[in-house]
Structure 1
């Protein structure tokens, strides 16, 4: 298969895996009464173990090397606790308080937050195109949260808060490990980050104290959330980056909100208004605008 075509397919599959994972989470919240504080610790700990097993089989030296470098080890812990852990927890809390489609779209405020960070770091004012993206992002949030009516919210304050928090922690999850990604394969870094974050969440929330009725649907859902939404998604993403680069990989991974919204409509009968869709489009458009500008 053509290298670029395979990379593009991997990028799209990354987004699909992430999007479908969010819908399975929504299914568990709505039909099984599962809490994010039970789901996320188990997801992160399990995914970390699977990713590190993969890393041990395919690249044992790098998997072990990170543990023996004090600076990289501490950076991996910081990434896991301040980045990955908070990103995953805030995302599923946003899903729990709204739906997978809305939560997924709100996290795509991350490119705008990253752009503002770069402006502050480099001490320059936003360019016209960057100001346009800020306006589009704010307009998208406004439409999704109010449907154009200034006097009322159509999603809960918690959903809006956790959705925006997801974008912020997604930004931290990108910035904190920036240097370490240059020294280790992405699966190694992500594996350790998931493991450290999962351990921290288990110690904080103690998921074993939650009463969850385990049935076939719960098992299948958790398997996809762990394997599909974490392990396979990041393996797809790593392959996409190798073949078409990070910028194009991010664009193809924007299939995530489409997959999440479509599956939640078909399977869980979630409804989105025309105004919701317009808000989604405004926010997602900032990713394409900023990517084309950087290119």
Structure 2
């Protein structure tokens, strides 16, 4: 019974996450076109606010555990910094910049095509066989 409730909660959270992500792209496009918001500013505020909200949520959900314990280990701290600066910032900035230069629909399409571009690159640059889930074979 508990597993079934967790599964439904997961479904709801996935639907909410996808909905909010879609709404955010459309809202960003409106902000860029009508209010002339700067991409750099929006990305900075978006990441800062979401980070603070996630830290606050983590404090309430993980009672008794320090949210700063990740910074005690140098390796995990460096991984977090690299992921933040190179991973999240790059993804957010390129997504918002593509909305600014084009529109939310094209930016979403480009974002979803990213894995396909990576796959094509790997297929073209690898000399060894490339397997995908043991069903497709690329030479």
Q: Same fold (TM over 0.5)?
A: yes
Q: Assess, with a 3 A threshold, how the Cα gap between structure 1 residues 110 and 61 changes in structure 2: closer, same or farther.
A: farther
Figure out how many residues of one structure are paired with residues of the other and give that number: 130
- Say if 2:130 and 2:137, in contact at 8 Å, map to a contact too: no
Q: Assess, with a 3 A threshold, how the Cα gap between structure 1 residues 5 and 94 changes in structure 2: closer, same or farther.
A: same
1:42 matched to 2:45? The reply is: yes
Structure 2 residues not aligned, in runs of 5+: none
C-alpha RMSD over aligned residues: 2.7
How big is each residue's C-alpha offset from its partner over 1:174-212, in whole Å with a ceiling of 9 and x where there is no partner?
Answer: xxxxxxxxxxxxxxxxxxxxxxxxxxxxxxxxxxxxxxx
Per the alignment, residue 112 of structure 1 pairs with: 116
- Say if 2:26 and 2:104, in contact at 8 Å, map to a contact too: yes
Structure 1 residues not aligned, in runs of 5+: 132-295
- Say if 1:116 and 1:126, in contact at 8 Å, map to a contact too: no
Q: Which has the higher contact order (CA 8 A, sep 6+)?
A: 1
How big is each residue's C-alpha offset from its partner over 1:88-134, in whole Å with a ceiling of 9 and x where there is no partner?
Answer: 0110000111111110121012332554687779x533567476xxx
The structure with the greater share of residues assigned to helix is: 1
Q: TM-score, normalised by structure 2?
A: 0.78
State which of 100, 112, 133 in structure 2 corresponds to 1:96.
Answer: 100
CA distance in 2, matches of 1:50, 1:130: 44
The structure with the greater share of residues assigned to strand is: 2
Per the alignment, residue 54 of structure 1 pairs with: 57
